[in-house]
Amino acid sequence: MKKAEAWRYLIVTGMIACTLVLVEYTGTVEVDDSLPVKSDLPRTIDGWVGVRTLYCQNEVCGKMLPMNLAEAGVNTCPLCGAKVSSMSVAERKHLPVDTIIIRKNYRNESTNRWILVSVVISGRERSSIHRPEWCLPGQGYRIAAYRHESVACEDHRSLPVTFIKIQAPGSLSTLQYGWFCYWFISKTHEVGSQTARLAWMAWDNVFYGVFRKWAYVSILADRVDSEQEEYDVEILKDFIKELRMVIRP
């Protein structure tokens, strides 16, 4: 672990410890249940058309429905007849019951490219959202490179976003190289790393006595050509700029 990163973790750990002391001596922290983002994703985002992503809730089956069936509004799995949901079986089993997940798969008809948008809204437990890099290897992706980008937004803010270049095994996915991008949103803050999110959570708990919900926004983009990598990053930044505008309440 790099020295700067180690210091960040120490600071966050110290603030969390202060939170525990505050709760012990002054009572419980007030919970703000207002959502940091809207509870649904729009049908279109700047030329991209979105379709719901649905999963079979049968633990034996557990398949993700094809986009055409999800778009048709089916309520049961065509393979086994079980109910479908925006949460996968694994997510429903391991995440707290008050966790909210919304997803849509967006396709650009002019370029035939797609972007999968996932938004996880935390409940009252911290385990609703965890470090994004933990999941990628478990899903078969190899992390090839990191980039920390700033996205210029309409309100003149600079939105910090983490870009991860990923590689998936060719035998399991047509995605050879692609991008996984994420950031976090609360009612009062927007950050591009889990460390920064935990720091602001501790700050709000210690100095304001309030626990706020957070949204973890991620996008998975299809294959990129190394020769046009910078061009692809700019496309994603434009999409993120539009996405941020339509999901804020």
CB 162 within 8 A of CB 183: yes
What does the pLDDT read at residue 1? Answer: 45
Domain boundaries, the chain: 3-52+100-247
DSSP state of 83: B
What is the tens place of the pLDDT at every residue in 26-69? Answer: 456 788 889 999 999 999 999 899 998 889 999 888 888 877 77
What is the tens place of the pLDDT at every residue in 146-168? Answer: 999 999 988 778 999 999 998 87
What is the tens place of the pLDDT at every residue in 191-237? Answer: 999 999 999 988 888 888 898 999 999 999 976 666 678 888 999 99
Amino acid letter, residue 50: G
On the question of pLDDT at 248 being above 80, the answer is yes
Token look-up 């972007």 returns 115
First to last CA, the chain: 37
Amino acid letter, residue 31: V
Residues near 56 by Cβ (< 8 Å), separated by ≥ 6?
62, 63, 64, 65, 77, 79, 80, 82, 83, 84, 89
CB 233 within 8 A of CB 226: no
Total-model pTM: 0.83
Q: What CA–CA distance (Å, rounded) separates 34 from 186?
A: 10
CA distances from 210 to 33, 175, 185, 202, 207 (A): 10, 42, 16, 9, 8
What is the distance of C-alpha 193 from the center of its chain?
11
What does the pLDDT read at residue 134? Answer: 78
What is the tens place of the pLDDT at every residue in 13-38? Answer: 555 555 555 544 445 678 888 999 99
Q: What CA–CA distance (Å, rounded) separates 199 from 195?
A: 6
Length of the chain: 249
CB 102 within 8 A of CB 40: yes
What is the distance of C-alpha 122 from the center of its chain?
11
Higher pLDDT, 14 or 132: 132
